[in-house]
Amino acid sequence: MNEYLNALRDAWRRLTAFVNDRRGPARRPVTPGTPRPVADPAERTTVVARADDSISSVVRRLEAAPTRQVVLVVPREARALRDPAAWPHVAAVAKRNSLRLGIVAARGDVRSYARQNGLSSAASVGSVVRSPHHRVRMGDREFYVPRMAWGPLIRGAVLVVGLWVLGLVACNTIPSAEVVIVPASEEMTATLRVRLNPIANTPDIELAIQPATSFKHTFTHTIAIVTSGEVEVPDERATVILEFANATEEDVLISAGAEIDDESGITFATDGDVTIIAGETASTGATAVLAGTLGNVPASTLILSGDLPTGITVTNPTDATGGTDKLVPAVSEEDVAQVNRIADEVLRRIGERELEAAVIGGTVFPQTVAVSIFSREPLSNLGDPTEVFLVDYTAIISALVVTEEEAIATADAVLLAHLGIGQALLPGSSSARLENARIEGNSVTVDLIATGLVADLVDTQLVRDAIKGDSPDQARREIQDLLPLEGPARIELRPGIIPWRWLPRNADRITITYAGPASLLPDTEDDEDDTPAGLLTTGASVTATPTATATPTAIATAAP
């Protein structure tokens, strides 16, 4: 029964295709004033495969098609086109002849083979071939009008709607605003006796612990004192008359500067040239090479010389005279002892000055200062003749230092502990003073006096709801009407690369931030030395009780 129905359906398709292929436009006499019927511009050729067709005959019939648009109808009994190997040939002839080939087949596997080779396929002619014109009937006449290209219109509409949705989402998610307000405030002061702890990193109000820094600094210093000892040093050189004897047969010339020694090594040099006649003697003056009384040698002791030729002898008939010594200041044992006595105190004073110059923006506690001598190098020895005794020292000084940041952190914690319900500590308003430091047991304690500005909290959600979607100027006016402020609110819209003209319409994208009065001051140029305050190696000294200020980034509020 199913085979009979399938055969009947295939016969009906062939008949429909044949009729559509053979039917032409209706022809009637032309009546004046009546539009002429226009033939369908979508001309096509229908090729119906037969049961006895081979792939070669199908290809020949496709090549012989008079139009470029061809519909190939494949009945169920066309066995040649059930083979998957036949369809590459069909696709090749369509490509070679530039055919717009559509496949109409009742079998799903045949349609699948066609699609696998790049051909359009369907179960009916109307599905595989869509005329680009509409057929319009007016009475007994038919007209063909171009179809509306809905695809580009739909794509354009989808693009416009997508861009609109994207813009709507972007306007509600991308922009954000930060509103900085300086509310009316009052000053609060609190005092806490704290204990310095160089190990702690954060302040502990319950245990009264103030973090501190154990600071060490290496320095060099030269201690100088006037010497108190005396020592004899050579002053004038001795002189003597030397007598030379020539035992040779030739005259001999002794040049000036010839050196004559005694057995102890005292050396004299002749003052001038002297010629000794053969077999005779000659005398000349000589001066000691070294000054001092050591040159006053007895007579007949200057008899040695390496500068005299063979056969020449020398001696001093008289004592040498004129050599003198004198007393000059020198390093004594008392001088060495005095330097050792004063070294600790001198190095401590110098070290404290070095420490004050090395610490900027912090407090140095003199009670914790300690000096350790690393090396000692005297520039003169005991008994050396000198008017000043110099000793080079290398020392290490250490002390506890509370930096500016450490003091501010503790001051914030102290003020937060004293806040009432519904109050907030304004960022950047805290300051700290450290006074009355003293040693108690093994610790150093000090009074920390914290001062800051406190303001009442406001309902930030109410503010955000009031200004969302407003322009910045309008938002400032509304905030000024809602809240008691020290100055106009500062509004920053992000991202800054887009010139936003309104605040976000989503209140959750608006942030309300508290700030201190310092934020109202105009920005100033940074100093050339932009090194942060704290521990430095160079810089000005600090006072004993400096006032430290800083700007914390978080908003401090009291717990309910």
| Residue 144: DSSP 8-state | E
| Domain shared by 60 and 42, yes or no | yes
Which whole-number Å values give the CA distances from 510 to 496, 498, 499, in the listed order? 15, 17, 17
| Domain shared by 343 and 374, yes or no | yes
Which amino acid, one-letter code, is at 323? G
Per-position DSSP letters for 484-517, written without gaps between them: -BSS--EEEEESTTS---S--SSGGGEEEEE--G
Instruction: Look at residue 309 and tell me if it is in a domain.
Output: yes
Instruction: Look at residue 282 and tell me if it is in a domain.
Output: yes
Give the whole-angstrom CA distance, residue 544 versus residue 297.
Answer: 70
Instruction: Look at residue 270 and tell me if it is in a domain.
Output: yes
CATH code, 269: 2.40.30
Whether the link from the prior residue into 495 is cis, omega within 30° of 0, is yes
Please count the structural domains in the chain: 3
Instruction: Look at residue 317 and tell me if it is in a domain.
Output: yes
pLDDT on residue 504: 87
**Pair 264, 279: CB distance under 8 Å:** no
| Domain shared by 65 and 109, yes or no | yes
Domain-ending residue, one of 127, 146, 165: 146
| Domain shared by 133 and 41, yes or no | yes
Instruction: Look at residue 529 and tell me if it is in a domain.
Output: no
Instruction: Look at residue 373 and tell me if it is in a domain.
Output: yes
With 0.85 as the threshold, say if the pTM is over it: no
Domain-ending residue, one of 400, 432, 447: 400
Residue 190 φ/ψ, nearest 5 degrees: -140, 145
| Domain shared by 53 and 82, yes or no | yes
> What does each of the 560 residues of the chain score in pLDDT, given as a tens digit?
677 777 777 777 777 666 665 554 444 444 444 444 434 445 788 889 988 889 989 888 888 888 888 899 999 888 888 889 989 999 998 898 888 888 999 888 998 998 899 888 888 877 776 655 556 667 677 666 665 666 677 888 888 998 888 877 776 677 889 999 888 889 999 999 999 999 999 999 999 999 998 888 899 999 999 999 989 899 999 999 999 999 888 898 988 989 999 888 899 999 999 999 988 999 999 999 999 998 999 998 888 887 788 888 999 999 999 999 999 999 999 999 999 999 999 999 998 888 888 888 788 888 888 899 989 999 989 889 999 999 999 999 999 999 999 999 999 999 999 998 888 898 888 999 999 999 988 889 999 999 999 998 888 888 889 998 889 999 999 988 888 888 888 898 888 787 878 888 888 889 988 888 877 666 554 444 443 333 322 222 222 233 333 333 333 333 33
| Domain shared by 220 and 368, yes or no | yes
For strands 324-330 and 362-364, give the pairing: unpaired
* Token pair for 359: 């610490």
Domain-ending residue, one of 326, 357, 376: 326
Instruction: Look at residue 38 and tell me if it is in a domain.
Output: yes
| Domain shared by 285 and 358, yes or no | no
Instruction: Look at residue 105 and tell me if it is in a domain.
Output: yes
* Token pair for 360: 């900027």
| Domain shared by 136 and 8, yes or no | yes
Whether the CA torsion 540, 543, 545, 546 is positive or negative: it is negative
pLDDT on residue 20: 61
| Domain shared by 239 and 319, yes or no | yes
* Residue for token pair 């080779």: 117
| Domain shared by 13 and 129, yes or no | yes
| Domain shared by 251 and 365, yes or no | no
Give the whole-angstrom CA distance, residue 557 versus residue 543.
Answer: 32
pLDDT on residue 69: 87
Burial class (CB in 10 A: 0-12, 13-18, 19+), 162: exposed
pLDDT on residue 486: 83
pLDDT on residue 136: 64
Task: Tell me which residue of 295, 300, 285, 290 sits closest to 320, measured CA to CA.
Answer: 295
* 336 CB-side CA count, 13 A: 13
pLDDT on residue 412: 93
Domain that holds residue 381: 214-227+330-400
Give the whole-angstrom CA distance, residue 363 versus residue 434.
Answer: 8
| Domain shared by 263 and 391, yes or no | no
Cα 391 to chain centroid distance, Å, stands at: 46
